[in-house]
Structure 1
Amino acid sequence: MQDSEILSEFRASAALLEGHFLLSSGRHSAHYLQCARVLMDPMRAQRLATALAAKLPRDLRQQIQKVVSPAMGGVIIGHEMGRALGVEAMFVERPTGTFELRRGFSLQPGERVLMVEDVVTTGLSSREAIRAIEEAGGKVIAGAALVDRSAGAADLGVPFHPLITLSFPTYAEDELPPELAATPAIKPGSRAQAQTGE
């Protein structure tokens, strides 16, 4: 799947948004990729996961024993990657602020894991998820994501394979350009936004 085809999937599902967004990393952006929208169509999610799995080196694909993704954003693409790779998929979540396996999920000591995200911006949550997977006994052999927003700068500490790399600029609070500073930031996907209907 070419980059233009991937972006067409995002545009077709109204998942590529423009405005002023406060990202989960704490940085601001004029663009936001709402992966939940692009993944809500099961056929589209399957196409994207199949394309992402195909981008992984063959020898890596053959080593993967489990897929683990961070909740919430990584759950759907993680599940679809498990299907594409023919392995079980599970997720880590933060019930008390720190990622952990729950719901009866477990890993065998040394089990080889692919950590899968929807979007990587700084890599912070990915590294936190990797740490939780390794604390649970897994060995993370690579990371994968639908979108690398870091323009290749994110370091997960393991080989990283995104489906597409984008370079939408992001800004710290104190370096906002005037056009962003003039409008309030929206936290896309947040519960508060959903409750207010914004």
Structure 2
Amino acid sequence: METYKQQFIEFMVASDALTFGEFVTKSGRQTPYFINSGNFADGPRISQLGEWYARAINDRIGSGCDNLYGPAYKGIPLAVTTAAALWNLFQHRVTYTFNRKEEKTHGEKGALVGHRYVGGEKVLIIEDVVTAGTSVRESLT
């Protein structure tokens, strides 16, 4: 296993975000581990998490995305902190967007917050855990 992957796992364990046991995912699958990104609940941890995500994105696709989409609810802080880290580490300016689970009928209205899509954007969906893609599919309908 690459060193950075081992370091990321150690970071998740130290943050009490990665736990081992018997868990059932939203899609009904059984899994021996659970990642609770809600445990990155302070500035240093969420900032560090954004840096891990930004480094992984930069290593895989460089500046090949224009927008980070974070499905409600746990994808929201991930998209925001990763957008900030992409700028701080690599001067890669990306927008972010997230959905509301309930469409707002007042104020700016609508189901999406952040960047308004105009077409042609390269969007990267950023989520805490993807097993069956249930949350992502739900947020796009």
Does the residue aligned with 1:120 lie in a helix, a strand or coil?
coil
User: Partners in 2 of 1:102 and 1:77 — Cα distance?
Assistant: 16
Corresponding position: 1:57 with 2:58: no
The alpha carbon displacement at 1:120 in A equals: 0.7
- Equivalent of 1:115 in 112, 121, 125: 125
Q: Which has the higher helix share?
A: 2
The alpha carbon displacement at 1:104 in A equals: 6.7
TM-score (norm 2): 0.72
The alpha carbon displacement at 1:124 in A equals: 2.7
Deviations 1:79-102 (A, max 9, x none): 122221421212023227xxx833
The aligned counterpart of 1:183 is none
The alpha carbon displacement at 1:28 in A equals: 2.5
Is residue 96–residue 114 contact of structure 2 (8 Å, CA) maintained in 1?
A: no
Count of residues in Structure 1 that have an aligned counterpart in Structure 2: 125
Q: 1:105 to 1:38 in 2, by over 3 A?
A: same
Corresponding position: 1:47 with 2:48: no
Q: Percent of aligned positions with the same letter in both sequences?
A: 22
User: Partners in 2 of 1:26 and 1:15 — Cα distance?
Assistant: 20
Structure 1 spans left out of the alignment, 5+ residues: 133-198
Rg: which structure is higher? 1
Deviations 1:24-66 (A, max 9, x none): 22223231111221464233223212222223223xx24x222
User: Partners in 1 of 2:34 and 2:72 — Cα distance?
Assistant: 18
- Aligned 1:1-198 pairs, distance under 5 A: 2-38=4-40, 40=42, 41-58=45-62, 61-62=63-64, 64-83=65-84, 84=86, 85-95=92-102, 101-103=111-113, 106-129=116-139, 131-132=140-141
User: Partners in 2 of 1:89 and 1:66 — Cα distance?
Assistant: 5
User: Partners in 1 of 2:58 and 2:113 — Cα distance?
Assistant: 30
Is residue 9–residue 38 contact of structure 1 (8 Å, CA) maintained in 2?
A: no
Is residue 39–residue 77 contact of structure 1 (8 Å, CA) maintained in 2?
A: no
Is residue 35–residue 73 contact of structure 1 (8 Å, CA) maintained in 2?
A: yes
The alpha carbon displacement at 1:18 in A equals: 2.4
Does the residue aligned with 2:126 lie in a helix, a strand or coil?
strand
Deviations 1:156-190 (A, max 9, x none): xxxxxxxxxxxxxxxxxxxxxxxxxxxxxxxxxxx
Structure 2 spans left out of the alignment, 5+ residues: 87-91, 104-109
Does the residue aligned with 1:2 lie in a helix, a strand or coil?
helix
- Moved segments of 4+, more than 4 Å: none
TM-score (norm 1): 0.54
Is residue 69–residue 123 contact of structure 2 (8 Å, CA) maintained in 1?
A: yes
